[in-house]
Amino acid sequence: MQVQTALFDPTDGASEATMSPAPFKLQLLKWIGNKQRFGHQIAAYFPVDYRCYYEPFLGSGGVLGVVAPHAGVGSDSLGPLIGIWQCLRDDPAVLVEWYRQRWEQFEAADDRVAAYEAIKASYNAGPNAADLLFLSRSCYGGVVRFRKDGYMSTPVGVHSPVSPASFKNRVAEWALRVCGCQFLQLDYREAIDMAGADDIVYCDPPYTDTQKILYGAHAFSLLDLCEHIAAAKARGAKVALSIDGTKRSGSHRVMLPIPDGLFEREAAVNCGISHLRRFQRGGETLGDEVVADRLLLTW
């Protein structure tokens, strides 16, 4: 594998025109690993001409929102999360209403912790998109964390969740950006296997070492992901893979089992301070935790 340590020119090595999207920072959801702040840096490596854009680890769609694909498939294994995306595309007013109802319940409460816990209990009794939407905006550090059994365990955040008016603006902006997309609850294998010639696939998997306790991604295997990427590449798809640049878990650096020859190029994408570490240290801001994500490209 050819490894470039410095951020290279987005056009380097690619004969075709690449995207040049403007930064888009108005987040719809808070989500651990959210890529939106530097989604424009990632998308700058993608070709302008493509058939369909796939994002099989959708989360809060940080890159999909920047790309705003003319045709796209956003997918994730978490069903209630996909319910949020489907509602955004099919009936954005309902999404705003879901948020407004829970926000008012929360704001009117004498005890906001209890109000938040009631919404969390409702989600845990029957996982659903409407509760998850409010929990993602109001939970501690924006880190929606699931136990192995699927129980959402994050406590309430110290911040004030955005107002319904602000959320409505976000929905209006996002609805325009996803109108070319369909949203499916899929394991990443099924989603990547759909991609063929002239498609783009952007993979942002749970970081195997530091994030496997999140999203219920306990069985995630990078090697298995690479096998599906290799098959998509052989069908003519262009696949980009984000990897946690620090590769640190506690005090050790994680070795990544990436097959030789699968990726042609690598870029460093600046993503500032590690939010995961910030959460683990109980809200303390870490000025020294500047990390860069690695972006590996099959073309």
Ligand X SMILES: C[S@@+](CC[C@H](N)C(=O)[O-])C[C@H]1O[C@@H](n2cnc3c(N)ncnc32)[C@H](O)[C@@H]1O
Interacting residue ranges for ligand X, rule: CB under 6 A: 31, 33-36, 56-57, 59-62, 76-78, 187-188, 204-206, 215, 217, 220
Structure tokens at 187: 């394991």
**Short-list 232, 267, 259, CA closest to 13:** 267
Residue nearest to ligand X (CB): 62
> Min. distance of Cβ 36 from ligand X in angstroms?
6
> Min. distance of Cβ 280 from ligand X in angstroms?
16
Specify the residue, 35 or 238, whose C-beta has the smaller distance to ligand X.
Answer: 35
> Min. distance of Cβ 76 from ligand X in angstroms?
5
> Min. distance of Cβ 195 from ligand X in angstroms?
14
Structural contact between residues 262 and 298, judged by C-beta atoms closer than 8 angstroms: yes
Neighbours of 137 (CB within 10 A): 23
Strands 181-185 and 238-243: what pairing?
unpaired
Specify the residue, 62 or 164, whose C-beta has the smaller distance to ligand X.
Answer: 62
Specify the residue, 52 or 64, whose C-beta has the smaller distance to ligand X.
Answer: 64
Which amino acid makes up residue 222?
L
Instruction: Determine the Cα–Cα distance for residues 110 and 126; give it in Å rounded to an integer.
Output: 25
The values of phi and psi at residue 209, to 5°, are -90, -45
Structural contact between residues 183 and 58, judged by C-beta atoms closer than 8 angstroms: yes
Specify the residue, 106 or 207, whose C-beta has the smaller distance to ligand X.
Answer: 207
